[in-house]
Amino acid sequence: MNQTLRSSDLNAAADNEAAPSPLFQTRVDERGTGRASEGDDVVAEEIPVAMVYNGISHAVMMATPVDLEDFALGFSLSETIVRSLDEVYELELDYGPDGVTAEMTIATERLFALKEQRRNMAGRTGCGLCGTESLAHAIRKIPKVGAHPAISDQAIQAALTELKQHQPLQAQTGATHAAAWCGVDGSIIAVREDVGRHNALDKLIGHRRRTGNTFESGFALISSRASFEMVQKSATVGIGCLVAVSAPTGLAIREARKADMSLIGFARPGRHVIYHQGQTTHIVEAVQENKT
Which entry of 127, 130, 182, 241 is annotated as an active-site residue? 127
269 marked ligand binding residue: yes
Nearest one of 51, 32, 122 to 92, comparing CA atoms: 51
Note down pLDDT in tens along the chain; length 292 residues: 233 343 333 344 444 667 899 999 999 888 888 788 888 999 999 999 999 999 999 999 999 999 999 999 999 999 999 999 999 999 999 999 999 999 999 999 999 998 887 655 444 334 444 445 556 556 789 999 989 999 999 999 999 999 999 999 999 999 999 999 999 999 999 999 999 999 999 999 999 999 999 999 999 999 999 999 999 999 999 999 999 999 999 999 999 999 999 999 999 999 999 999 999 986 544 444 555 5
SS3 66: coil
267 marked ligand binding residue: yes
Strands 241-244 and 219-222: parallel
DSSP codes of every residue in 211-222: TT--SSSSEEEE
268 marked ligand binding residue: yes
266 marked ligand binding residue: yes
Strands 177-182 and 219-222: antiparallel
110 marked ligand binding residue: no
Contact 153, 189 (CB under 8 A): no
**Helices within 19-173 (DSSP H only):** 68-78, 108-121, 153-163, 168-173
Dist CA 185 CA 243 (whole Å): 14
SS3 211: coil
Domains and CATH numbers, the chain: 7-137 (3.10.20.10), 148-281 (3.40.140.10)
Amino acid found at 155: A
Task: Say what the pTM is.
Answer: 0.87
271 marked ligand binding residue: yes
Cα atoms in the Cβ-side hemisphere of radius 13 Å centred on 55? 2
Dist CA 217 CA 76 (whole Å): 22
The separation between CA 23 and the C-alpha centre of its own chain, rounded to angstroms, equals 20
Question: What is each CA distance from 255 to 59, 238, 262, in whole angstroms?
Answer: 24, 14, 11
Residue 277 DSSP one-character state: -
Whether 127 sits among the annotated catalytic residues: the reply is yes
